[in-house]
Amino acid sequence: MLSPGQILRLLYIQRILIRNGLDEIVFSLNLFRKVRFLQYLLPWNWKKKVRSPRGVRIRTVLEELGPIYIKFGQILSTRRDMLPDDISLELAKLQDNVPPFPGEVARDIIEKSLNTRLTNIFEDFDLVPLASASIAQVHTARLNDGREMIVKVVRPGIEKIIRRDLGLMHIIAEMAESYSGDFHNLRPTGVVKEFEKTLLDELDLMREAANASQLRRNFTDSHILYVPQVEWEYTRHDVMVMERIQGIPINDFQALRDADINFQWLAEAGVEVFFTQVFRDSYFHADMHPGNIFVKPGVDGEQAKIMVVDFGIMSSLSEFDKRYLAENFLAFLNKDYQKVAELHVQSGWVPAGTRVDEFEFAIRAVCEPLFDRPLKDISFGTLLLRLFQTAERFNMVIMPQLLLLQKTLVNIEGLGRELYPDLNLWKTARPHLERWMTDRTGIRGLIKGTQENFPYWVDRLPELPTGLLDLLDRIREGRFKFEWKQDELEKLRKEMQLSNRRTILAIIGATLMIGCFILLGFNNPILGLADTTMITWMLGVIGTLILYLSYIR
């Protein structure tokens, strides 16, 4: 049910939509197919007008609706797997430039949050903000010990505004999904939920500070990347104090030239930093646009460094995600489309009944045109996007973290090629992919997995004798049985009952063999070494016989 405030907001939105000619796009949907004639009866459509492209009109509407909708458009622009290219590219132009709120208000918020006067913390605090965005604004300050800082302050009353507009977005998304097939593939309710999570996370500056600290810890010894330090003593959920960095914006090419920065090194270093975050740390900065990246020139022969800010949007990858990326990229490099298709089916990304040959043909049709050029000219981000779009046609659900990674990859790739047009992203990335694969497979992967899991195995080892005795008690008392819950497996019950004895014998034999190996590692001071050896041999022989019987029955 819409509240009075939401009804007024909806009327305001409707007025902006009409003014920008978006009613034409609304009437083009199948939902309004039978009443499309009404479009020509509306007074504002009586006079023919020259309209801008639909992407431009949608961007203009979002800009007029204000900061929350601008933010929504920015996030929506990353969903190029769902939106037409003309709309997603236009939404990527949205700029989060919002008029600042008074510095005196920011000062009051800080003093209330930290429960002290500003002068007790800062020697100097600039009331004029350095930057202003939809969620927060940033001021420069100097601590009483002389260190230069930036102070980020959440906008007053912004949470109430966000929740009002989010409620309206949820209602519109549900209506669109329920009444129109045009929005089925766009999944608007899911998009709004994803946006809500991102936006509410950005409201909590403690979370952003924790993100910054984690990234800084990951690159503590790096000679390429520098992450500013959080001043935790003065950081709260609505206030964050962080070291102020001094550097050249990465898109200020003339200033970089004047500072004698090697553009090839800078482009390749940016790619290396990105793939290190992804494959070494499984944790990456997901908002790497030029406004968040600076370069610190080297002094007295030191190497220059990349510096990053704004840690509101971070993402992480599971081992499964990384394996998906590494194996698929390497298969693409080798143009092994069958391998790509098999990987998707085997991993469960697409339904098990999917025909591998059909999926392979679809991938080949998308990728072959991309590979009809020098490897260095092929876009990593475009390739990943095309893969997502193809897989989605085969009912693959793309995880949000992979979409964030694709968006970040496009940003890094585009910026890298602006700096150095001959950048070969594949050549720079391939060592990271192959190193990760080598670490996770083969002998090295086995050794590493054993080292990682050995403490867990040792920790569980004392429980094995107790578990073995409990299992034997349950079997002797008739309490050991399988309980099938799936209806379709009821037909197999009789067959499983016949094989149950065989299974029990195999378990008993295996557990006796395990007991044998356990006793081999211990010298029992009560029984003595000879007795322990005899018991070990007896358990081993009995276990072997039982295992043998379980296979011949």
Q: What digits encode the pLDDT tens for the residues 116-134?
A: 999 999 999 999 999 888 8
Mark whether 26 and 90 lie in a shared domain. yes
Q: What pLDDT does residue 278 have?
A: 86
Q: What is the C-alpha R_g of the chain?
A: 31
φ, ψ for residue 245, nearest 5 deg: -100, 150
Question: Any idea which residue has 């740390």 for tokens?
Answer: 281
Could you tell me what percent of the chain has a pLDDT over 70? Answer: 66
Mean pLDDT confidence for 382-405: 74
Picking from 224, 244, 264, the residue at the C-terminal end of a domain is 244
**Residues 294, 245 contacting (CB under 8 angstroms):** yes
Helix (H) or strand (E) holding 236: none
Cα separation, 161 vs 158, whole angstroms: 5
Q: Where do runs of H (alpha helix) occur along 103-204? A: 103-114, 158-179, 188-203
Q: Are residues 306 and 441 in the same domain?
A: yes
Say if residue 417 is in the same domain as residue 547: no
Q: Which residue carries 């209806």 as its tokens? A: 487
- Which two structure tokens, joined as six digits, stand for 331? 């298969």
Task: Give the span between the Cα atoms of 409 and 370, in whole angstroms.
Answer: 17
Domain that holds residue 505: 461-552
Q: Record the tokens describing residue 413, joined without a space.
A: 């790739």
Same domain as 239, residue 348: no
Do residues 205 and 270 both lie within one domain? no
Cα angle vertex 163, ends 159, 166, to 5°? 135
Give the active site residues: 287
Confidence at residue 526, expressed as pLDDT on a 0 to 100 scale: 42
8-state DSSP, 116:
S
Rounded to two decimals, what is the model's pTM?
0.68
pLDDT band at 361 (very low <50, low <70, confident <90, very high): confident
Q: Identify whether residues 286 and 411 lie together within a single domain.
A: yes
> CA nearest 543: which of 492, 507, 490?
507
Please check whether residues 42 and 170 belong to one and the same domain.
no
Return the percentage of the chain with pLDDT > 90, whole number.
Answer: 22
CB-based burial of residue 287 (10 Å sphere; 0-12 exposed, 13-18 middle, 19+ buried)?
buried
Q: Can you tell me the distance from the alpha carbon of 313 to that of 321, in angstroms, rounded to the nearest whole number? A: 18
Arithmetic mean of pLDDT, 208-237: 94
pLDDT at 378 over 80: no
Chain center to CA of 549: 51
Q: Where is pLDDT greater, at 334 or 121?
A: 121
Q: How far is CA 354 from CA 104, 345, 346, in A?
A: 61, 7, 10
Alpha-carbon distance of 400 to 455, in angstroms, equals 33
Nearest to 234 by CA among 339, 143, 308: 143
> With contact defined as beta carbons under 8 Å apart, do 162 and 199 qualify?
yes
Residue with tokens 């296979």: 551
Looking at the structure, tell me whether residues 450 and 485 fall in a common domain.
no
Residue at token pair 């920015």: 74
Do 162 and 151 share a domain, yes or no? Answer: yes
Cα–Cα distance for residue pair 364/383, rounded to 1 Å:
12
Which residue has better confidence, 259 or 530?
A: 259
d(CA 77, CA 72): 9
| Domain closes at, from 442, 458, 474 | 458
Euclidean distance between CA atoms 170 and 163, whole angstroms: 10
How many domains does the chain fold into? Answer: 4
For residues 521 and 501, state if they share a domain.
yes
Do 160 and 304 reside in the same domain of the chain? no
First to last CA, the chain: 67
Could you tell me if 309 and 257 lie in one domain?
yes
Q: In the listed set 180, 214, 244, which residue is the last one of a domain according to the structure?
A: 244
